[in-house]
Amino acid sequence: MMKLLKVVDLSLPLNADTPIYPGDPKPELSIATTIENEGYNLFNVVLGSQTGSHLDAPYHFNNDGATVDNIDLKHCFGTGLVIDVSHKQSNEEITLNDITPHSSDIEKYDIILFKTNWGTHQGTDAFFNHPYLSAEGARYLLDQGIKTVAIDTINLDKTGGTSFPVHTMFAEEGALIAENLTNFAAIDFDNPVISILPLNLTGCDGSPVRAVALKMDFTTP
């Protein structure tokens, strides 16, 4: 028997105030029709492929990589391991030393989530000076067979630079990155089931997502 006990929303609200990577398209939501005029409510929605909480496909940093409509969806769903790095400071690397204490558990999980709690800085310049994953840490996770890494900052790499070593590495390996997620602190239970499913956008580098963490009871009656 399977029973759903709790759903934690890991996605930012999408509106004009949603934080975006500098230079990316700003989200625009506007009324297209109304019940009063046309008989139904409908909105115009303009989004970048990396707007809000989103998933990066390998094509984002590799012209030969899979686009978001061609990724293996099994890597968007599975058990998650939350690694708490909320002690990290502005522009500080998440290093191999932050990851290896969990080395005996990593192979049991499908998705690694780095909890920085950096969303508390949303609306300030500090939001973009977030902790980020080191290349050494990324290499280790890939070598452990991890295909999906999520973070509650706007970028898994350092924002503001001209190189993106972690993105490049993941793209070359056909792995996935989820960014600009939120609410990791609400995952207060073990063995969450994580869903980070993208839209089926033809030929795109990524997609906004409605990510969730599920608390499940798999006990048999």
Residue 221 has a pLDDT of 62
CA 216 to chain centre: 21
DSSP of 33-54: E-TTTTSS-EEEEE--TT-SSE
Residue 104 has a pLDDT of 94
Residue 220 has a pLDDT of 60
Distance of alpha carbon 24 from alpha carbon 70, whole angstroms = 23
Domain ranges within the chain, ordered by starting residue: 3-19+49-217
Residue ranges of the chain with per-residue pLDDT less than 50 = none
Q: How many helices (H) and strands (E) does the chain have?
A: 4, 13
Does this model's pTM top 0.85? My answer is yes
What CATH number should be reported for the domain whose range is 3-19+49-217?
3.50.30.50
Q: Whats the size of the chain, residue-wise?
A: 221
